[in-house]
Amino acid sequence: MLVFILSSILLSGQSQKTFHDFTVETISGEKFDLSLLKGKKVLVVNTASKCGLTPQFEQLQALYRKYGGKNFTIPGFSANNFMNQEPGTNEEIIEFCTENYGVEFPMMSKISVKGDNMHILYQWLSRKAENGVMDSEVTWNFQKYLIDENGRLAEMFSPGVKPDDPRISSWIEGK
CA-to-CA dists, residue 22 to 89, 115, 167, angstroms? 23, 19, 26
- Measured CA to CA, the distance from residue 50 to residue 64 in angstroms comes to 22
Q: What is the DSSP letter of 161?
A: S
Distance of CA 132 to the CA centre of its chain: 16
Question: CB 125: neighbour CB atoms within 10 A?
Answer: 26
Residues assigned a catalytic role: 51
